[in-house]
Chains A and B, each alone.
Chain A
Amino acid sequence: AQSVAQPEDQVKVAEGNPLTVKCTYSVSGNPYLFWYVQYPNRGLQFLLKYITGDNLVKGSYGFEAEFNKSQTSFHLKKPSALVSDSALYFCAVRPRNNNNDMRFGAGTRLTVKP
């Protein structure tokens, strides 16, 4: 069975510092990988996805994610955090042959301190 793990419930960084939100997955084959962000009382906003090709994927709002096949990880990164980046971040995976089986991690709450 496929699964997604976000090992950190919370991540706290100072504004201007780099941030990393971790995600590992267990899915057979080569899945599609996604990051979404959720602000309070809002739905999920798409940030970026990995389909194939370059292991470093660039997305919205200056976020990027690094796909590592050997470690089955897809960590979200940003070189310089903003206070407005504070939100709940979700990693998701989906098998390549099934577009209706998206699995989400439990989420990581990112807090960026001024």
Chain B
Amino acid sequence: ETGVTQSPTHLIKTRGQQVTLRCSSQSGHNTVSWYQQALGQGPQFIFQYYREEENGRGNFPPRFSGLQFPNYSSELNVNALELDDSALYLCASSLAGVLTDTQYFGPGTRLTVL
């Protein structure tokens, strides 16, 4: 196991609702990246947080937002949920400042939007 934890494991929401997903990074890591993995696809980069600020963003709309806390844990917030938001959401932690750093993934949160 990587030491990266995510909660909740599963979540069911209805269209238009808002959701918050949580991630605790591996000990010693200061960077958290979030990914969306739709069924049958590879993970797609949403954004990365470093020093409590967004440090890069993929092709996702502003209704996807995040936070990073002083203990390096992170939240992913999605507003106005759409059916296509149904996916496995993965967070990965790493140690910034080392370009060869490896991202270690949590088990994911399965979000279903009805």
Residues of A in contact with B (beta carbons under 8 Å apart): 4, 32, 34, 36, 41-46, 49, 51, 90, 92, 96-107
Contact = CB atoms under 8 A, between A and B. Distances in A.
Contacts of A42: 107-108
Given A36-B105, A43-B107, 6 more contacts: A32-B99, A32-B100, A43-B106, A96-B99, A101-B56, A102-B103
Contacts of A45: 2, 105
7 contacts: A42-B108, A43-B2, A43-B6, A43-B105, A100-B47, A104-B43, A106-B41
A49 B100 CA distance: 9
Interface residues of B, number: 31
Interface of B: 2, 4, 6, 31, 33, 35, 40-45, 47-48, 55-56, 90, 92, 94, 96, 99-108, 110
Contacts of B104: 46
- By Cβ-Cβ distance, the 7 closest A-B pairs, closest first, are A100-B56, A104-B42, A43-B105, A100-B48, A44-B105, A43-B107, A43-B108
Contacts, number: 65
A21 to B, nearest CB: 13
Contacts of A44: 43, 90, 92, 105
B105 A102 contact: no
B45 A43 contact: no
A106 B103 CA distance: 18
Contact of B94 (A4, A99, A104): A99
A100 B45 contact: yes
Contacts of A96: 99
A99 B99 contact: yes
Contact of B33 (A49, A98, A100): A100
Given A36-B105, A44-B90, A51-B100, A101 B45 contact: yes
